[in-house]
Amino acid sequence: MVRPNVLLRPLRKTLPVLHPRSTGPSSANIPRRRTLPPSRQFGVSTQHSSDEKSQSFKSQLYESTQQRLKRERAEQERYSQYQTQSQGGRYAALMFALAFFSTGAYFLGSLKPPSLPTSSTTSLFDLENPRHDVSQSNLQAAWADFVEILGKENVSTENADLEMHSGSDWSSYTPKSSEKPFIVVYPSSTEEVSRIMKVCHQRLIPVTPYSGGTSLEGHFTPTRGGVCVDFGRMDKIVALHKEDLDVVVQPALGWEELNEELSQDGLFFPPDPGPGAMIGGMVGTGCSGTNAYRYGTMREWVLSLTVVLADGTIIKTRQRPRKSSAGYDLTKLFIGSEGTLGLVTEATLKLTVKPKSQNVAVASFPSIQNAAQCVTRVVEEGIPVAGVEILDDVQMKCINDSQATSRQWKESPTIFFKFTGTPVGIKEQISMVQKIVSATSGRSFEFARGDEEMQELWSARKQALWSVMSMRRGPEDHVWTTDVAVPMSKLPDIIEATKEDMTKSGLLAGICGHVGDGNFHAIILFNEGERDTAEAVVHRMVKRAVELEGTVTGEHGVGLIKRDYLEHEVGQTTVDAMRRLKLAFDPLCLLNCDKVVRVQAPKPGEIKPW
């Protein structure tokens, strides 16, 4: 570029140095003077010589300046041309550099793990929504993976199978049309379950476990679609250790089938929930049953579990001894987790010796409160009955109308007592209970005089749910069965209040339950037009239980129906701690998503005001 002050510099700095032999560019175009002979030099005038010198100097100065200007102008033109021609290329180069360094920075940043959470709990509103991939292409690719693992005959996309694994007639939750699995798989071993979970973990596919399907609170409804793992082929007794009084079983073995096998060796597995329940579901809900008063709940009868975690990892919670203080009690952590923390593929269960003798007695009362008071007295006296069950007048009427048993019953609140032990001990227990029945306004008391009569008396209790279902007016009717539990001293009050509320609702609704440990059930018949009324009855029942220092569920589990009540029972921080456990075992929220604790904020109006 030409600098404007170039001509103002001293001449000595702008003129080239002249040498007689110079061949440089500064002297190339300057005409040389002829060298005259010495004789003729003397003839040249002084004035002429001076003019010639002056003219030569000006000519040199002019030519040198012009050449410099031409060179600088040429440089300027070349630079301008370069600027014009390379603008697009330089922009592209700049973008490439930015993309390169951004990618490099991202890669280097990804090498450093994200900072770990510092809170001991996880609030619902601190979570991002689960990111699952339930696209058709991803699920179809997973289908090919499952066929390779299980064989085509053990992978189903038949609509009948999908419907069956979405809900049931006796579930309190009615699934939406979109809440259906894409595929049902039937593994036969822990290793196959592990491989299934590895595929689902890699492909971000949600998983719903399915055992007996008797779940009542929406436990196995696939709210996110995806894959349903049906354990139906895993129904074996793996190992029986008679001397140690324990047995290793797979999750699809029914408790009734188990006890049939054990009875041949004089052994007995005490928890006895509803007919059709299987070990996997019993572990998942932490169930109990009619023997809970004497023998306790499922939590007391599980020694160890084999569990497949969300990423396919297989763990065993402990060995087979009756007690252990080694580390965290993961066994009890998975009991009651409803398949949200891992999939149970084997369970080691404690057994006991089958009672030498047993008997059943039935007592009727003028009111449900009288019956509840009788139960409270039996507990306070410490009478070691094996089971105490209650059915109200509505429930007894349903049993008669459905002809579910071989005899007609008094249609009044009734208590069923089960006694076990030695013949002498049972006789003593019956005598003590009979006195308490008389003292609490009991109308009748009858005990069995043989095995056949004992089975007949006890059969009414086992038919409670089915008898109400048989009273449905049409296919549009649903059955809502739910449970709560309270301290024994509060039992008469809550049963009486719930009974009154049900009567006012105008719905066909009965009460039954394992009242020996403060746990009772409500069974309500309703159609879609009556759903709001039924929900309101259940809501008030649960609220009463919490206000009486009870629990929202004694044995059915939380599922979808009870999850929003947990906060009122145990507090928000406790639920947040449960959510942290869920994310620790299942950070992608693949396992039975939405059950027990929410992992996504509810929609407006979805939660009933307390």
pLDDT category at 15 given cuts 50, 70, 90 is very low
Contact 440, 377 (CB under 8 A): yes
Determine which helix (DSSP H) or strand (DSSP E) holds 187, and give its type and residue range: none
Query: Is 289 contained in some domain?
Result: yes
Res. 44: pLDDT tops 90: no
Rg over alpha carbons for the chain, rounded to the nearest Å, is 44
The pLDDT score that the predictor gives to residue 335 is 97
Mean pLDDT of 265-289: 93
Contact 531, 400 (CB under 8 A): no
Distance CA 390, CA 373 (A): 11
The pLDDT score that the predictor gives to residue 106 is 64
Distance CA 418, CA 447 (A): 10
Distance CA 161, CA 374 (A): 47
The pLDDT score that the predictor gives to residue 330 is 97
Measured at the alpha carbon of residue 207, what is the angle toward residues 332 and 330, in degrees to the nearest 5? Answer: 15
Q: Which of 26-35, 317-326, 411-420 has the lowest mean pLDDT?
A: 26-35
Structure confidence by residue, pLDDT tens digits, 52-94: 555 565 566 566 667 766 776 776 666 566 555 556 666 676 6
Measured at the alpha carbon of residue 68, what is the angle toward residues 62 and 71, in degrees to the nearest 5? Answer: 140
pLDDT category at 447 given cuts 50, 70, 90 is confident
Query: Is 158 contained in some domain?
Result: no
Q: What is the 3-state secondary structure (H, E, C) of 465-483?
A: HHHHHCCCCCCCCEEEEEE
- The CA-atom distances, in angstroms, between 129 and each of 124, 203, 341, 590 are 10, 17, 18, 12
The pLDDT score that the predictor gives to residue 442 is 93
The pLDDT score that the predictor gives to residue 26 is 42
Res. 10: pLDDT tops 50: no
Contact 227, 145 (CB under 8 A): no
Query: Is 421 contained in some domain?
Result: yes
Query: Is 154 contained in some domain?
Result: no
Task: Give the CATH number for residue 261.
Answer: 3.30.465.10
Domain boundary (73, 92, 111) is at 92
Structure confidence by residue, pLDDT tens digits, 325-336: 999 999 999 999
Determine which helix (DSSP H) or strand (DSSP E) holds 417, and give its type and residue range: strand 414-421
Res. 17: pLDDT tops 80: no
Looking at residue 304, its amino acid is: S
Contact 393, 411 (CB under 8 A): yes
- Phi, psi (degrees; rounded to nearest 5) at 229: -100, 105
Query: Same domain for 305 and 376?
Result: no
Query: Same domain for 442 and 532?
Result: yes
pLDDT category at 45 given cuts 50, 70, 90 is very low
Structure confidence by residue, pLDDT tens digits, 376-414: 899 899 999 999 999 999 999 999 998 888 888 999 999
Distance CA 235, CA 249 (A): 7
Task: Give the CATH number for residue 449.
Answer: 3.40.462.10
The pLDDT score that the predictor gives to residue 283 is 97
Res. 463: pLDDT tops 50: yes
- The CA-atom distances, in angstroms, between 7 and each of 11, 61, 68, 69, 213 are 8, 11, 11, 10, 101
* Structural domain for 258, as ranges: 237-353
The pair of three-digit structure tokens given for residue 279, joined into one six-digit string: 């070990």
pLDDT category at 200 given cuts 50, 70, 90 is very high
Residues linked to residue 247 through DSSP beta bridges, in sequence order: 240, 349
Query: Is 167 contained in some domain?
Result: no
Identify the residue with better confidence: 39 or 377: 377
CA quadruple 526, 528, 532, 533: dihedral sign: negative
Indicate the pTM of the whole model: 0.79
DSSP code per residue over 81-115: HHHHHHHHHHHHHHHHHHHHHHHHHHHHHHHSPPP
pLDDT category at 182 given cuts 50, 70, 90 is very high
Query: Same domain for 492 and 547?
Result: yes
- Average pLDDT over all residues of the chain: 86
Query: Same domain for 327 and 410?
Result: no
Identify the residue with better confidence: 78 or 354: 354
Query: Same domain for 398 and 539?
Result: yes
Contact 410, 479 (CB under 8 A): no
The pLDDT score that the predictor gives to residue 514 is 84
What is the number of residues in the chain? 610
Structure confidence by residue, pLDDT tens digits, 524-576: 999 999 999 999 999 999 999 999 999 999 999 999 999 999 999 999 999 99
pLDDT category at 452 given cuts 50, 70, 90 is confident
Give the strand order in the sheet containing 246-249. Answer: 237-241, 246-249, 343-350, 302-308, 314-316
Query: Same domain for 369 and 342?
Result: no
Q: Which of 105-119, 145-159, 434-448 has the lowest mean pLDDT?
A: 105-119
Contact 568, 548 (CB under 8 A): no
The pair of three-digit structure tokens given for residue 106, joined into one six-digit string: 């991202």
Query: Same domain for 253 and 367?
Result: no
Distance CA 591, CA 197 (A): 9
Domain boundary (353, 371, 392) is at 353
Query: Same domain for 468 and 382?
Result: yes
The neighbour count for residue 244, using CB atoms within 10 Å, is: 14
Percent of the chain with pLDDT over 90: 62
- Pure H helices in 204-245: none
Query: Same domain for 416 and 341?
Result: no
Counting the structural domains of the chain, the total is 3
Structure confidence by residue, pLDDT tens digits, 117-155: 789 999 998 888 999 999 999 999 999 999 999 999 999
Structure confidence by residue, pLDDT tens digits, 473-526: 888 888 999 999 999 889 989 999 999 999 999 999 999 988 888 899 999 999
Looking at residue 300, its amino acid is: E
Determine which helix (DSSP H) or strand (DSSP E) holds 504, and give its type and residue range: helix 491-505
Query: Is 109 contained in some domain?
Result: no
Query: Same domain for 349 and 378?
Result: no
Domain boundary (92, 125, 159) is at 92
Query: Is 187 contained in some domain?
Result: no
Determine which helix (DSSP H) or strand (DSSP E) holds 419, and give its type and residue range: strand 414-421
Percent of the chain with pLDDT over 70: 83
Contact 158, 150 (CB under 8 A): no
The pair of three-digit structure tokens given for residue 17, joined into one six-digit string: 């140095």
Query: Is 155 contained in some domain?
Result: no
Picking from 512, 377, 501, 359, the residue whose alpha carbon sits closest to that of residue 442 is 377
The pLDDT score that the predictor gives to residue 68 is 64
The pLDDT score that the predictor gives to residue 6 is 40
Query: Same domain for 328 and 387?
Result: no
Residues linked to residue 314 through DSSP beta bridges, in sequence order: 308
Contact 304, 347 (CB under 8 A): yes
The pLDDT score that the predictor gives to residue 461 is 81
Query: Same domain for 334 and 426?
Result: no
Contact 241, 247 (CB under 8 A): yes
